[in-house]
Amino acid sequence: MGRPLPHDLIAQASGLIAGDELKKAALDYSRAMREKVERDQGGLLSVFDGWFARVVRRLTEFDASRPWEESVRESAAQAQAYGDLQWDLLRLRLFLDRWRQGRFVTFAERERSQIHYHPRFGTEFGADVLLTCQGAPSLMRWRGQPLMKNVFDFAMYPALIAELRPRTIFEIGSGLGASAAWFADHMAFAGVAGRVHSVDRVKPALQHPLVSFYQGDCHAPERLFDPDLFAFEPHPWLVVEDAHQNVGGVLEQFHKYLSPGDYLVVEDSDIKRPALRGFLCAHPGDYLVDTRFADNFGRNATSAGDSIFVRTKADESVAADDGRRGE
């Protein structure tokens, strides 16, 4: 038996890429994939590469004058063997619909496309994966301490740090301190000479040579860190909001000091979307979602759904003394 398609996705698939546009995108990605496999993977196909190639090969066996979605639908109705191809075609359309938008996408575009995915989290995964991805019944650990990150973020952040090479990381929400130590260790692994500044209402006891911990309250965001840190700590910055308190106020405070190319990550964003909408509406065009990190393991396979942002332009309303910033 072919695997059944969820009825809600069947109904919503009509808004996805289709017809000749779908075929063109599939061929364009096939070319890009082959180049990537040769350039970066020594000719070895990943699981996804192999799946994509098999699905496109099967689809191109249909009548070239007809849309793939029509041919697959009719074939599935006539033979159970084509049931899985229905599922594969839907996955293909979802992926290519994202891919053709490009790497950097507005938050508004991401929210509009959420109709095709999990209604709350905007992911391709069910609630069972989201409930257990931090570890069940026990958390992952780092330096012997419980690490409040999910398995996707455990892979995503090192990739982001390796590409961005942040000289400074600000973390709002230290917890027990494991994540700050984890960030600092990955900066060192990437050969980056940087420092992590982490704040919470209770200062962690954990110590790390590359981490400074602080006590602070998000309801007084201007006092979370010494103003000199904002003036003198070198860029690029990676700012991670994981405190869940006064989110809008905290983001506004950091907005004054973020430079183009800096990254702002808001974790557990499913419950922070109203604050995100308000913040981004107040700063149109200043931030884009980086889908390379948000979607690398599937759409929004991260706690920071639609909220791994790159700062795109300077804030002209804030007088900044660039000479005071680290080179």
Which part of the chain has CATH 3.40.50.150? 116-324
| pLDDT, the chain, mean | 91
Give tens-digit pLDDT for 65-103: 999 999 998 988 887 666 789 999 999 999 999 999 999
Type and span of the H or E element at 169: strand 168-172
For tokens 């920071």, what's the residue? 304
Specify the CATH number for 116-324; select among 3.40.1440.10, 3.30.1360.170, 3.40.50.150, 3.20.20.80: 3.40.50.150
CB 98 within 8 A of CB 291: yes
For residue 316, the model assigns a pLDDT of: 61
Give tens-digit pLDDT for 247-303: 999 999 999 999 999 999 999 999 999 999 999 999 999 999 999 999 999 999 999
Q: How confident is the model at residue 324 (pLDDT cuts 50, 70, 90)?
A: very low
Give tens-digit pLDDT for 19-29: 999 999 999 99
- Between helices 83-99 and 68-78, what is the axis angle to 10°? 160
Residue 90 CA to residue 99 CA, distance in Å, equals 14
Q: What is the mean pLDDT of residues 101-122?
A: 91
Helix, strand, coil shares of the chain, percent, nearest 5, are 45, 15, 40
307-322: b or e for each residue (b if 16 or more CB lie within 10 Å)? Answer: bbbbbeeebeeeeeee
Residue 110 CA to residue 284 CA, distance in Å, equals 15
pTM for the full model? 0.91
